[in-house]
Structure 1
Amino acid sequence: MISCQNVTRHELIGLDVLVAGAANPFHREVSGRIIDETRNLVVIETHTGIKKIPKAGTAFRIGLPDRTLVEINGSALILAPEKRLRRA
């Protein structure tokens, strides 16, 4: 089960997200649902379209299924998703 302690080892696609902080001011406060993830990017579907946000230099506030919010430094997510999921 996904929790605050193990969120970096789980699938993020389908979770609600808010960009809490970013090096690029145009990325700040972007919110929506994660629809894809690559090694270096999180793809977010917003009400205005699709946004590709780099993981490096970004803080994400992710809503978990139990309605708790967890803030994650994007640098902790830089790894191909399939490799990150296998990481212990």
Structure 2
Amino acid sequence: MNERNILRHELIGLKIKIKYSSNKYLIGLLGKIIYETYNLIYIKNGNKIRKIPKKSCIFIFFLPDDKEVVVDGKLLVGRPEDRLKKRLKYW
């Protein structure tokens, strides 16, 4: 997994931080992805589980090789299994 193909991989288990959100209380939230649906990412932060909308956020993913990748949540909207089939433009 690297910064160019992160959208085609499983996100569950990755550390994540919210860089920007339309909800100011979510900005800076740090946690681990435990579940993913069409529109939401479930993040475990301490003992709490937070539901985060994909569409209104910009995320920082921390990859296992200590790299950080910034991803617009609009690119993540959709079922995880369908996102693998989607044709994506690389930036």
Into which bin does the TM-score normalised by the smaller protein fall? over 0.9
Give the deviation of 1:85 after TM superposition.
1.8
Q: Which moved more, 1:67-76 or 1:42-51?
A: 42-51
TM score, norm. by length of structure 1: 0.94
Output the TM-score relative to the length of structure 2.
Answer: 0.91
Residue by residue over 1:67-86, the C-alpha shift from the partner in whole angstroms, topping out at 9 and shown as x without a partner, is 10000000000010010023
In the alignment, what sits opposite 1:13? 12
Q: Aligned equivalents of 2:28 and 2:47: distance in 1?
A: 13
Where does 1:1-88 land on structure 2 (aligned, <5 Å)? 2-88=1-87
User: What SS is found at the alignment partner of 1:86?
Assistant: coil
Task: Render the CA deviation track for 1:6-64: whole Å, top value 9, x for unaligned.
Answer: 00111000000000110011111111100000110010000140000000120000001
- Aligned-pair Cα RMSD in Å: 0.9
- Quick one: which amino acid aligns to residue 20 of structure 1? K
**Secondary structure in 1 matching 2:74:** helix
Q: Give structure 1 regions of 4+ aligned residues with deviation exceeding 6 angstroms.
A: none
User: Which letter maps to 2:6?
Assistant: V
Consecutive unaligned residues of structure 2, counting only runs of 5 or more, are none
Whole-Å separation in 1 of the counterparts to 2:20 and 2:51: 15
Structure 2: distance between partners of 1:54 and 1:30: 13
Q: Count how many residue pairs are aligned between Structure 1 and Structure 2.
A: 87
